[in-house]
Structure 1
Amino acid sequence: MTVGVVLLAAGGSSRLGQPKQLVRHQGQTLVLRAVEMALSVGHGPVAVVLGAHPDAIALELTGLPVHCVRNADWALGPGGSLKAGLSAVLATESSGGPTVDAVLVLLCDQLTVDASHLKSLVTTLKTTNAAVVASAYDGTLGVPALFSRAVFAELEALPPEQGARGVIARDPSRVETVPLPGGNQDVDTPEDLARLK
């Protein structure tokens, strides 16, 4: 099974006052930490979607086997960034890469996510053949989430202001879940950053 990864790293971090992608945690930036996790899944192409601060973030990823994709309309919402990343992942097929069976959607700033959680999502998809495998936390289902090829068209049809959760919530009967304790802890505000440090 070939699993592509779309890492959403386009946000402007307006509440934080600095690019969250470049915040350092345990000696590395959040975007580098997320990319290393994505690469550890080890199944297919990795697309990093950039928007605000694209040059500084791309520089952080120099030399890594990822596709950096710029979404000029990143400020309209996550849907456009998700589509841009999915397009980049699927473009690898036409240049001789393997057929992508599923895509993993990932954020930079969910600090309780680790490589073993991402691998659990992949294992769950393999064993259940579900259309969607989502992370379960804080009474909700969200990303990181794995979407089978059967729902790629739904991801591509998302309006700019809507993220992956729109596809996850559409039909709960087709969604498998993997618990992610603390999955709602992210880095959005100076208070979050202070807690991180």
Structure 2
Amino acid sequence: MKTGVIILAAGSSSRLGRPKQLIEYQDKTLLQGAVDVALASNTDSVVVVLGWNPELIKAGIETESIDFVVNKNWQEGMASSMQAGLRFLQEKINPDQVILMLCDQPFVNTRLLNKLISKKHITGKGIVACVYSDTMGVPAIFDQKYFEEMLNLKGFEGAKKVILKNLSDASSIDFPEGAIDLDTEEDLKGFFG
């Protein structure tokens, strides 16, 4: 099973007022942390989707072994960024499944990504998503049979729409820390104390 990882890092962090991709956490940027976690997992290819100010964000990454895609339509919403990453992986490795993750969930680790892959294999389900704050969301792994549906999402629709529409073919992993993302200065203060 070929597994690709799409890391979404295209936003402008408008609520924060500065690029959250470059916020330092545990001696590296949030984006570098996400990349390192993905590269260490049992996956075949990792792509980072950039949008707003891609050269600035790319400067916050210290690895040559990562692919980047720039989504020129990033302002249209998350759907177009996810689709840019998915199309890239389809051309590069034609994956059997993809993991979708964000760059601003600091508690996502390699073990969690490997657990998604393993649970999908064990359960035979087409989707395995993380559960937090009474919902299912990313990181999540999607079987190839959902790629078409993902490519048909519009605007600000995200992977959650695909997950919730296909609950009978979805399994979950408890990940309460997934609720922590960093969108505002208050989030940062709460996170960093």
Q: Is the 8 A contact 1:104 1:145 kept in 2?
A: yes
- Which ranges in structure 1 are unaligned for 5 or more consecutive residues? 94-98
Question: Where does residue 158 of structure 1 map in the other structure?
Answer: 153
Structure 2 counterpart of 1:138, from 124, 133, 136: 133
Q: Is the 8 A contact 1:7 1:48 kept in 2?
A: yes
- Which ranges in structure 2 are unaligned for 5 or more consecutive residues? none
TM-score (norm 2): 0.96
SS of 1:47 mapped into structure 2: strand
TM-score (norm 1): 0.94
Structure 2 counterpart of 1:193, from 169, 188, 193: 188
User: 1:23-62 to 2 correspondence within 5 Å?
Assistant: 23-62=23-62
Q: Distance between the aligned counterparts of 1:12 and 1:86, measured in 2?
A: 21
How many residue pairs were aligned?
A: 192
Q: Distance between the aligned counterparts of 2:102 and 2:67, measured in 1?
A: 16
Give me the identity figure in percent: 38
Mapped pair 1:118 → 2:113: yes
Question: Where does residue 180 of structure 1 map in the other structure?
Answer: 175
Give me the CA root mean square deviation: 1.1
Shift of 1:63: 3.3
One-letter amino acid of the counterpart of residue 21, structure 2: Q
SS of 2:176 mapped into structure 1: coil
Offset from partner CA, 1:14-50 (integer Å, 9 cap, x none): 1111000000001100000000111111321111000
